[in-house]
A = this chain, B = another copy of it.
């Protein structure tokens, strides 16, 4: 640039205004200190992947944590090494390692090494996963995973959708699509509703609140499942009210979080066909089992759904957060979700834009860690890992059944085992749970099943070994009042 030309003189002036002689802020450059802390940060992450984590964790009093972290926001910065010290010494010890093999509470997680590592590539690549134009390569890879899931479920080849942040987002996007299609077809005929059992995940009820629709409650059978007759009865009862709602969908479950119950999808699908209702299946936890032939057998009827969601961060070995949403006919989702704005005029809508299939626009290409891991290890390795967790749950249920101090409450459909320690009060359950969590032996947290406080074990980690589970039964048997 010639400093005597007009443009050149302008540039000299701008450089002066901007103080360009000062160094570029180091936040955005790679210098020697970056090199040093990158080693430290990456080294720690590798340690987290490679070594067993300390299963004892516990938050200090909230005010202590708040004070510690309040000091981390300062004008001058702490530097990466001090920030990492706080991470190692304060942050991580007060977070539960969700992938510890003896963490059996709620729904744990068990990401593969490849999936975890690849998350760094996703972050470092600054990929915009919202539309094809910006993220074609990433979206094409994600779509293969969605296609794989769709074909495992027996959906036609055109099935597809998008990766979203979690099961809540998947349920919402699918049910908004269902409502949109219903309103296009029938117009507004009164208060809208979808049908769901009382056992569905809390997020389905939150979804109804967000959408401002009612829920038609469906009774479950003794295994916590929605059946065809119960659904038909619930719909008839709602209609008989006279002032009954306009039902547009059924939100069924394939693996409830509490009991792992799988609704009778074949029967439910038949009722949906009869009544022209959209069938969405929340399979956040359970539909992961599609990846093994044995698991698939347990999910008969899934081929009839209009949409389903599954969270790979639960039981498909992907890091947080990642949920897959798949539609039988993705075109129906486009008309419900496409966002238009002047600044989006230039977006080519002829390709696959994930933002057209769910309620989101900016989007991390969050399906990529799963894609990379699946590409690396192959689908057989996934089936094997899945079968291992199912077999471990089965073996544990057998051990519960064989043990004189326990009642098995529900034969596991997938990998959740509910059981009762004979002679224990609700407080006994809670106290044992707290004590063993504190010692780092295991995290097993009681739940409520048919009104009773019971023990619940959820196995999603191939590293959870039956050798370490069975002795827990002896421990519980010996603890507290006699069985």
Contact of A320 among B364, B391, B465, B467 (CB under 8 A): B364
Contact residues in B for A345 (Cβ distance below 8 Å) = 446-448
Among A73, A179, A339, residue most surrounded by chain B Cβ atoms (within 10 Å): A73
Complex CA–CA separation, A48 to B118 (angstroms): 13
Complex CA–CA separation, A25 to B388 (angstroms): 9
Interface assignment of A11: CB less than 8 Å from any CB of chain B: yes
Complex CA–CA separation, A434 to B233 (angstroms): 59
Contact residues in B for A359 (Cβ distance below 8 Å) = 168-169, 172, 206, 210
Contact with B along A63-100 (1 / 0, CB 8 A): 00110111011111111101100110011111111110
Residues of A436-483 whose CB lies within 8 A of B: 445-449, 456, 461-463, 465-467, 470-471, 474
Whether the pair A311, B362 counts as a contact (CB closer than 8 A) is: yes
Contact of A120 among B41, B82, B461 (CB under 8 A): B41
Contact of A470 among B7, B121, B363, B392 (CB under 8 A): B7
Whether the pair B69, A140 counts as a contact (CB closer than 8 A) is: yes
Q: Which residue of B lies closest to A377 (CB)?
A: B77
Complex CA–CA separation, A99 to B118 (angstroms): 19
Give A410 Cβ to nearest chain B Cβ, in Å: 13
Contact of A69 among B20, B95, B143, B466 (CB under 8 A): B143
Interface assignment of A10: CB less than 8 Å from any CB of chain B: yes
Whether the pair B360, A165 counts as a contact (CB closer than 8 A) is: yes
Interface assignment of A268: CB less than 8 Å from any CB of chain B: no
Interface assignment of A225: CB less than 8 Å from any CB of chain B: no
Contact with B along A405-440 (1 / 0, CB 8 A): 000000000000000000000000010010000000
Q: Which residue of B lies closest to A59 (CB)?
A: B136
Whether the pair A363, B321 counts as a contact (CB closer than 8 A) is: yes
Give A189 Cβ to nearest chain B Cβ, in Å: 14
Residues of A190-243 whose CB lies within 8 A of B: 192, 201-203, 205-206, 209-213
* Among A107-115, A273-281, A296-304, A324-332, the stretch in contact with B: A107-115
Complex CA–CA separation, A385 to B27 (angstroms): 8
Whether the pair B126, A109 counts as a contact (CB closer than 8 A) is: yes
Give A10 Cβ to nearest chain B Cβ, in Å: 6
Whether the pair B97, A65 counts as a contact (CB closer than 8 A) is: no
Contact with B along A103-131 (1 / 0, CB 8 A): 00110011111101111111111111100
Whether the pair B14, A76 counts as a contact (CB closer than 8 A) is: no
12 contacts between A and B (CB under 8 A): A10-B399, A18-B391, A25-B388, A28-B110, A37-B114, A69-B143, A69-B371, A95-B125, A98-B128, A206-B361, A210-B211, A258-B343
